[in-house]
Every structure is written in C-alpha cells, then in structure tokens.
Structure 1
Amino acid sequence: MGVVMNDDVALIALLRRLDDGEHLCAPQEYDERGISSMLHRLVSRVEADFATRCPVECHHRNTVEYARVVVPGEATVCGTRIVVSISNFGSLAMVAADNPGAYLGTDEAREEGALDAGDLATVKRALLDT
C-alpha cells in the first residue's frame, strides 16, 4: 500500500501535493479498480493474519473515504476492534482503535491499553504489503 508515515513534515507535504480544489473527493488520476484491488488484497491479508472475517464498510459517494476494514475486537489482544480507513487518495490509510476519533492516535490507544503493539504492527505490515 505504500509507506507508513510517522513524520509530520512528510505527511503534510504529501497532503499538500494531493490538495486540489477541483477534485475534492478523489484525486484527478483516481483509479477505482486499483483501489478496489488493493482493498481486496488487504482484506484477505488481514483476515488471514487475525484468523477471522473482517467486515468492510464501503463509502464510495461524496466522501474521501473509500472503505473501512474492521478487525473485530474478539480477534485482537486487547479486545478492542481495529478500524482501517482507506482513502480515495491512493495509498493513504488511517488505523484506529475502536473508531476513528476515539483516541488521539494509536500511541494514545496503546498507552490506554486499547491497542496492542503487535496487533498494530500486523495491520501496518498488511498495509505495506498490499
């Protein structure tokens, strides 16, 4: 899927590059087939890694979020579901414990015992490999 960004400067540069006043919900070179294919590979990988079915919620209309992949809490070490939000903007994805916005980030979720570092690493590897 790409590179995991932990560098705020690199992330801001990427977001500025993708910013386009005419294409608000998807980039000009939007490739729905490519994103759909990546999503299917990601779901297969995450389901195999967590040994469970991971529901997919699709958001194709009027949103920058293409889909969400949900790892059920029963399959995670901490018992909290993991939500992977896939963007229409190619290789952008966000990982959250419980729900996007429930914690200020994965660091806070780990500190509060809602997200296991190993589970987070598993999801990040799946994103990088797809």
Structure 2
Amino acid sequence: MTSRCGWNWPERGRGRVDDPAEALREADRLAGPDHLEFPGTFDLPRERSHLSALVERLNSEFSCRCQVSEGIQDASFLATVGIPAAATQASEGIAIRLSNFGGLAVVAAEGFGIYDDLDEAQAHGALTEADRRKAECAVTELGYVPIPEPLLHRPYDGVTGLPSFYPHETVTWWTRFFDYL
C-alpha cells in the first residue's frame, strides 16, 4: 500500500509493509501470547527517542508545540501526540497514538473514533488534504506503520488470551495495540 508521501509504508526493522492488517497480525504473532503491554524486545529509551523525533517533526511541520501524553501504564500504547486545532487548516486537532508493538501508529482527526477514517474526516471538513499529508508523512518517514482505524475496530482474534480478561466486552485490535488494559 502506498502512503500519501508517495512510497511504501515501512515497518521499523522489517522493510516495507504492503498490508496494514498483516502488520497487526505479525506484531501480535511476534509478541506471542504472554506479552500484552509490550513485547519482550521493547526498548523504552529507543521508543522514547523515536517519539521525540516524531514530536519535533510535527512541531516543525505544523509550526506549533504538540501536546504529548506519555508515561502511560497498564496499556498497549506508548504515547498520544496531539496537534492543536489552532495549528491545523481545518481548525480541528489531530491525534496520533503510538503502539508499544511493531512501530504501529494510528492518526485521527479531532480524536479517536470520532470518524470512521481519515477520508470521512476530510469529507466532513475536519481534516484537510495538506494536514493529512503532513501528519501521515511524518509518521511514515520516521518508520511507523499507520494503521487505518477501521481495521482496529474489528474483533480481536489473535494469539493472546486478551478476550478472557473482558468476558462482557468485545475486544478489538484497538484494545490489543492502542488502549489501556
């Protein structure tokens, strides 16, 4: 699959990624059934360095100071980066969440789950093509794999026993890689 940057999406350390759904499954398989918050190979200082580089890039691209929520615990994600509404052409914020697994990332207009995907956000005027390109290019060029939100709302059917922890809820791929546990 090709990004708006004009080249194939990478996955840090593993070359290019043509199928975001396969990137989810591979990250799940590689982590194995016992690693819910982060994989055994997780290197927090390295991931924080990648996060800092992303924030610097976004600050430059949007001429702003992005808000960063980090120091997250009991979760399958590292941080959420918020591009302030005042820095975007549509006057709506952009949120980017980084998973602890496989360099996965999700980009959303206004917030997660508000629109089905970035195309819908653009259709509703909550995101411009230029801002979408800046956010997606920053993510991909720094080695993250952008995962479209609709893929994340599918029921989780991976290798962990995660659904057994939530017997009365539908566990999704969002829960597996981008949520509090």
Q: Which has the larger radius of gyration?
A: 2
SS of match in other structure, 1:83: strand
- Amino acid of the structure 2 residue aligned with 1:17: E
- Amino acid of the structure 2 residue aligned with 1:28: G
Confirm or deny: 8 A CA contact 1:110 1:117 kept in the other structure.
yes
In the TM superposition, residue 128 of structure 1 has moved relative to its aligned partner by 2.1
Q: Which runs of 5+ in 2 are unaligned?
A: 1-7, 12-17, 143-181
Change in 2 beyond 3 A, CA 1:4/1:81: farther
**CA–CA distance in structure 2, aligned partners of residues 38 and 110 of structure 1:** 28
* TM-score after normalising by structure 1: 0.89
Q: Which residue of 2 aligns with 1:33?
A: 45
Question: What do you get for the CA RMSD once the two structures are aligned?
Answer: 1.8
Identity %: 33
Please say if 1:3 is aligned against 2:15.
Answer: no
1:97-118 Cα offsets, whole Å, 9 max, x none, are 0110011111110111101111
**CA–CA distance in structure 2, aligned partners of residues 59 and 120 of structure 1:** 27
**CA–CA distance in structure 1, aligned partners of residues 74 and 9 of structure 2:** 26
Q: Which runs of 5+ in 1 are unaligned?
A: none
Please say if 1:99 is aligned against 2:105.
Answer: no
What is the aligned residue count? 126
**CA–CA distance in structure 2, aligned partners of residues 4 and 98 of structure 1:** 25
**CA–CA distance in structure 2, aligned partners of residues 90 and 47 of structure 1:** 24
- Amino acid of the structure 2 residue aligned with 1:71: I
Q: Which residue of 1 aligns with 2:62?
A: 50
**CA–CA distance in structure 2, aligned partners of residues 15 and 129 of structure 1:** 19
Q: Which residue of 2 aligns with 1:81?
A: 93
